[in-house]
Structure 1
């Protein structure tokens, strides 16, 4: 698969908690840093509250790409249902991410999706140096996404099933 095809990956997990309980964890943009080996943390910019158009900054670390920060903009926001953001340029993002909450009986299915590109990213810089290895690089990167995404949804599951988030307003 080529980067220009905007490859994506999706994972999901069932959680024994309501969509509202899971939601309170999702909108904490720093939370995935507890579980991911790459994402090092994030915070809302301009004292923003989570919502459509709000921006946040994220810090990342990768053994080959080094350290970098990105600014993301919320492009999908439906409480207890959808939280989505574009990385860097909203019209031509370096990546696009989303969490979806699907009611499932007395619980919730949490689905996370990550997409590369179509805009430039650290990976496009690496591909430019090794164009003959593009498909292997993309496949490797999708595997890294999958590993960290699974760790994140499993971590959210454990937190949500342990009970309501203390002071749900602290989810910013």
Structure 2
């Protein structure tokens, strides 16, 4: 992959794709139901909406609680910055003007089903990974590389879960 040599300040990205044998509307029902996401992730433990929101809409906020063996447990507040049913859903982690990460699901009607992608960008704002890098600055590139591979693996698993759920309905 293209992460070799990447530094946090490079805002590295990763994207995974899957074709789902279901229409975008059905896939959207799953992608936009954040209560399902903890069951699809080893890292994400829970999600709850803030300010009375019941689901994604531009400006809606939610808290995600996560756990990682090497990084510990943490909680972040994310902001939905793009929501176009049933095409794209994007959220920024922490400060939307300088996020710790940006996540996006994109859905495209293709070949009688849905081309589904999940994309994420690390940084430019500080995150838990920043603290690991602060402690071992000489290992920054390795830390970023390993974390991006973890994201890729977890995102691939998430898309597999979404595909299974959408095709079973």
TM-score (normalised: structure 2): 0.94
1:1-172 correspondence to structure 2 within 5 Å: 1-49=6-54, 50-163=56-169
With 36-45 and 87-96 compared, the bigger mean Cα shift is at 36-45
Shift of 1:31: 1.7
What secondary structure, in the 3-state scheme, does the structure 1 residue paired with 2:73 have? strand
How many equivalent pairs are there? 163
Shift of 1:30: 2.6
Distance (whole Å) between structure 1 residues aligned to residue 158 and residue 137 of structure 2: 31
With 43-52 and 5-14 compared, the bigger mean Cα shift is at 43-52
With 22-31 and 77-86 compared, the bigger mean Cα shift is at 22-31
- Alpha carbons 1:31, 1:41 under 8 Å: kept: no
TM-score (normalised: structure 1): 0.93
Unaligned runs of 5+ in 2: 1-5
What secondary structure, in the 3-state scheme, does the structure 2 residue paired with 1:147 have? helix
Question: Root-mean-square deviation (CA), in Å?
Answer: 0.7
Cα displacement string for residues 137-163 of structure 1 (whole angstroms, at most 9, x for unaligned residues): 000000110111011000000000001
Shift of 1:105: 2.1
What secondary structure, in the 3-state scheme, does the structure 2 residue paired with 1:124 have? helix
Shift of 1:123: 0.4
